[in-house]
Structure 1
Amino acid sequence: MRDLRKVNPGPRPQAEQGRTPQPDPNRKPHPPKGRSPGPDRTPAPERRVKPRKGHPRATPRHARPPLPDAHDAERVQKILARAGLASRREAEEWIRAGRVTINGEVATLGSRARGTDLLKLDGRLIHRAPLRRSATWLCHRSPGEFLLPPQEGEAAGEARESIAARLPRRVGRRYIPVSPMPRGDGGLEILTSDGELAARLQRAVHELPVEFSVRVRGGLTAEQVEGVLRGRLHDGARLRVEECEPAGAGEGANHWYRVRAIGASGRELRELVEQQGGTVSRVLRVALGGIRLERSLQRGHVRQLGEAEVDQLLGPAPHAAPERS
């Protein structure tokens, strides 16, 4: 009877030890799972999906604004202003007070920081803002209405409802007014969350035409109107007033006047009319540069300015009319 027990074949030949199996060259490769065998496929053209109107991904990723270059050093106060933390002047005060550090060292007014530096304010890391334009708003301010909520250190005796409190909140940022009107007056106001842009707009508005509606009790005589057009103030400054004409009667003895000047503020215009003997009861700003306060925008309401409108404010000032002698 044959012995069916396993027989130990003994050690393998040395040539076979450590040899890895090799694939059979005559064996046909299997097609990938889910595909039928066939000739090599040509890659299908890339499918481009048109984004829906208003979809947040409508802007391609490569069009997003870049972060500041890590090799470009900027002044610290400029970085703080662009981050919307403060105006450039306020940022300089923070630097003088020693509240700002760069990589652990206290910054000075001449200090610069790169994108790779650790910039901190009161020990808190400041996140660099992309080089993009922040939100800028046009506001229709009612006379007596506050633009901003009370700041630290201000008396909070009265309830203070402000226009800025109705705007979208931006973490770590606050809104900065550009050439604001006095509290007793109102009309067109501009608020932005970008401190650097606020500084540029503030410089630009001094060369932009501004239109006001001025309410005068009892009206102005022809001589008083001529004095307004001359534009001379008590301190020797001179406003470039282009137009001053009646715009209709108001309630009772009030009369409205349309005044157009270059770079004038509401305070300066009120001072100019009052020094001619007029009793000013209200000054409303209705246009700044090419931006006009629409009738559809009710008092206390706001709308966001588009980039083209902001560029219009920042652009070169129109040719000013010759000054009157």
Structure 2
Amino acid sequence: MSIKQNKSSMQENTGKRLNKYISETGVCSRREADKYIEQKRVTINGKLPELGTKVMHGDKVALDGKILTAAPDNKSDRVYIAYHKPVGITCTTERHIKGNIIDAIKHKSRIFPVGRLDKPSEGLIFLTSDGDIVNKILRAENAHDKEYIVTVNKPITASFIQNMGRGVPILDTVTKPCTVEKISTFVFKIILTQGLNRQIRRMCEYFDYDVKRLKRTRIMNINLSNLKLGQWRNFTKSELQLLQNAVQGASKTAKNMKTMKTKPAKKTPQTTLKTPKNIWRS
């Protein structure tokens, strides 16, 4: 028996966690699956399960009464796309929200965004039907690079660039040190490995700068390149392989992490405290 066959046989005997099973069908992420289970919208063989229940070989799992089809082991049916999000589009799967990202893309498959990009921001965001890889990408300990080009309202000084890179006190913590580079009088590039709420805008505001334009140009190994505003494209084979390699060591379940709280620091660039780990945002 091959290793792959042996693994498949073991899964049949030990089962698969319900939220993982649901996310692998492409319906939603694991986090959303947990919500559906709590809302009693999910059944196994016609009965309501509990969180943590395992799906055994031959079980019939249904969401809102509709039987979910188990995903093939090689995930050949999965969708992975890169989208150039315009300003004004909201990164939500809630269809009742005007300007939601799902209606904007109009993809034939059921997909959901990986992380978020704020409504006033534009640029690169991933969408997929692979709930398993979403969780791996969002694991904060992976510290994946995200690159942004930012335009501000007044001339950029050397001290601003230096202080932004050292760490900025916002949201009762201090941002991680990051790479910041001046591009022109009003434009700079910044590479983050965390994603606090409105992080770049808050960092700039701390130094009395207002963000006029914020564009994400790269996530990990995937670049925005020549993707026009509002356009999307499928990942290339090499991009997908690199992405899968990058998240290969990611833990499959979230670690319990206590959010570290610090007193707001004084307005000084010297503070470089560690920050809590967060999901993708900008």
TM-score range, shorter chain: 0.7 to 0.9
- 1:145 aligns to 2:89 (yes or no): yes
Q: Is the 8 A contact 1:81 1:88 kept in 2?
A: yes
Q: TM-score, normalised by structure 2?
A: 0.75
Q: 1:293 aligns with which of 224, 246, 261?
A: 224
Quick one: distance in 2 between partners of 1:243 and 1:230?
A: 9
For the structure 1 residues 269 and 194, does the alpha-carbon distance in structure 2 shift closer, same or farther, using more than 3 Å as the test?
same
Cα drift, residue 315 of structure 1: 3.6
Q: 1:96 aligns with which of 19, 38, 49?
A: 38
Cα drift, residue 236 of structure 1: 4.1
Q: 1:302 aligns with which of 232, 235, 260?
A: 232
Cα drift, residue 277 of structure 1: 1.4
Q: 1:121 aligns with which of 56, 63, 67?
A: 63
Give the corresponding residue for 1:31.
Answer: none
Q: Is the 8 A contact 2:28 2:129 kept in 1?
A: no
Quick one: distance in 2 between partners of 1:130 and 1:67?
A: 14
Q: How does 1:1-325 map to 2 (within 5 A)?
A: 70-131=12-73, 132=75, 134-147=78-91, 150-151=94-95, 154=96, 160=99, 162=101, 165-170=104-109, 174-203=110-139, 207-249=143-185, 255-264=186-195, 267-294=198-225, 296-316=226-246
Q: Is the 8 A contact 2:82 2:127 kept in 1?
A: yes
Q: How many residue pairs align between the two structures?
A: 241
CA RMSD of aligned residues (A): 2.8
Quick one: distance in 1 between partners of 2:150 and 2:9?
A: 45
Q: Is the 8 A contact 2:114 2:127 kept in 1?
A: yes
For the structure 1 residues 143 and 274, does the alpha-carbon distance in structure 2 shift closer, same or farther, using more than 3 Å as the test?
same
Tell me, which stretches of 5 or more residues in structure 1 are unaligned?
1-65, 250-254, 318-322
Cα drift, residue 69 of structure 1: 5.2
For the structure 1 residues 129 and 210, does the alpha-carbon distance in structure 2 shift closer, same or farther, using more than 3 Å as the test?
same
Higher alpha-carbon Rg: 1
Cα drift, residue 135 of structure 1: 0.8
Q: Is the 8 A contact 1:241 1:262 kept in 2?
A: no
Corresponding letter in the other structure for 2:190: V
Overall identity of the aligned pairs, in %? 25
Q: TM-score, normalised by structure 1?
A: 0.66
Quick one: distance in 2 between partners of 1:121 and 1:67?
A: 26
Quick one: distance in 2 between partners of 1:112 and 1:75?
A: 4
Cα drift, residue 115 of structure 1: 2.6
Q: Is the 8 A contact 1:205 1:313 kept in 2?
A: no
Corresponding residue SS for 1:137: strand
Deviations 1:21-77 (A, max 9, x none): xxxxxxxxxxxxxxxxxxxxxxxxxxxxxxxxxxxxxxxxxxxxx899543401111
Quick one: distance in 1 between partners of 2:57 and 2:51?
A: 18
Cα drift, residue 117 of structure 1: 0.8
Quick one: distance in 2 between partners of 1:168 and 1:305?
A: 14
Q: Which has the higher contact order (CA 8 A, sep 6+)?
A: 2
Cα drift, residue 298 of structure 1: 1.0
Q: Is the 8 A contact 1:186 1:283 kept in 2?
A: yes
